[in-house]
Structure 1
Amino acid sequence: MGRLWGMMLIGSLLLSACGLQRQTAAALVHLPPPPLSASFAPEPGPTAFEPDFCLPVLLTPLPIPPPPIPERQPASDSIYYNLPLPPLPRYPVAQDTQSLAAYLDFLAAFYEEQGIRYRSAPLTDCSGLMHRIFRNLQEACPSLDFPSPATARSSRALARWYYDRGQLSIIHHAADSSHLIRPGALLFFGRNGRRFRSPDIGQLCHSRGIQHIGLVVSVDYDADGTVAAYTLLHAPRPGQSISRVNRYRTNPKAPHLPAYGNWGQQWVAVAHLISEPPPDLP
């Protein structure tokens, strides 16, 4: 009997507690919302509502930051191409090897003295150097026709420009094509280590085709009149300056290097600053 009375007492206490919780919850529902603090007050605006219980807040306007200084952009190729040329002696560029070679030799010395590094400024990579030389030659001999950076900027685009005009010779056998190497010859080279057996213009103008271009400024002949070596003016690679190099031979010292190539780059095509071969070639 005592156990029964104890259970009834516990049940009564539980019912009382539940009723108290319901009353407390109901009271909380009807409580008015607490006043908003200044940090949660709505921002004033054309449609903002400011309740009566919001305290006035003095807002200090933040200082307006100065406009960002625009980064200095390097001059584009086209802008550089239209700048006045530096004063150079006006060599007569006639249709012969001697006068052209003399002028190219002078230009080569001029660019070497400048100490221009590869891609240190507009038109200072291998094809950009050719465009600089085109301008120099056109200034010396306005009748000559050359492409502009807007029409043929890269070495592959230059090859296509000469090909479309019937002035590009694709090289299939370098050792048998030495007669095409003379001062004023634009030599195009493929990727380092890649060998083309029978290249065509589509392969050469592909992104994996022509990778480098240089200008022949002088040629060394052997007793038979065959090109033994030639001197190339070019912009070699990033970090190096425009320079002349004389190490391109019929039979390179390393047997795995291609004939008349640029180290491991195969000679794949040639065009000429003066399209007609001069009569005094050997």
Structure 2
Amino acid sequence: MAEEAAPPERRAGADWVAHAVLILGVVLFALPLWIVLMGSTHDAATIGRGETPLLPGSEAAANYAAAWSRGTTGVPVGRMLWNSTVMAFCIAAGKIAISILSAYAVVFFRFPGRRLAFWAIFLTLMLPVEVRIFPTFKVVSDLGLVNTFPGLIIPIVASATATLLFRQFFLTIPDEFVEAAKMDGAGPLRFFRDVVLPLSRTNIAALFVILFVYGWNQYLWPLLVATSDEVETVVIGMVKMIGSESNTDWSLVMTTCVLALLPPVAVVLLMQRWFVKGLTETEK
């Protein structure tokens, strides 16, 4: 006998509990962001007194203009945002380019040590960044890349995770596609350009969003390499803005936090449809 459907009262109760949990989660996540947003519209004295403003103030225009043009450490937030955007974009694009080519070679080329090459890439997932941070810094320093964008980007541009994800996707491409391409006289580069890349668009978009946010949030490596104001990122700048409790302009710090949220949020919103498709689409 088929199981009887739950009575409407029970389903309504379950829905109410689920919605209550979701609302609580949204409040816990959004409340700190709201406090920071409101704090960026008040003067430093209001924040310095320990007040927690929940309504907008009258200093928004002045705070955002001051942060954008001069910051609190003498480095304009506008420049730091540009540096972070360049770093995050190049890291995301570089990781995708290297990973998709590596996965393509591992899956579609037959060469001695192919499986060994893949496992060598995969094993790097077990190594945290801290394990290789000092040898990497020594190499970058010897090459004269400290305080440069190449020094910020190149050492962290490889990604074993993205290579693994692209490999798993390429394994789902039917062998008939490969055979049809060979019958048409398509070489490896043409097959990659005309078949593999179009099928990988949603995966590339989803990975780009994830890797852009990853690059944007980088802290440890820029802290070591970017000691000059010319290449200082906004994450490092926000930490430098927080001095002792007596001389920290918390209104400008909160303003910088809000500005630092905008680029990654914009990327997520602009690519939201592709991001969701890349994570959920199974039929190519």
Query: TM-score of the superposition, structure 2-length normalised?
Result: 0.19
The answer to which structure has the higher strand fraction is: 1
Q: Which has the higher helix share?
A: 2
TM-score by length of 1: 0.19
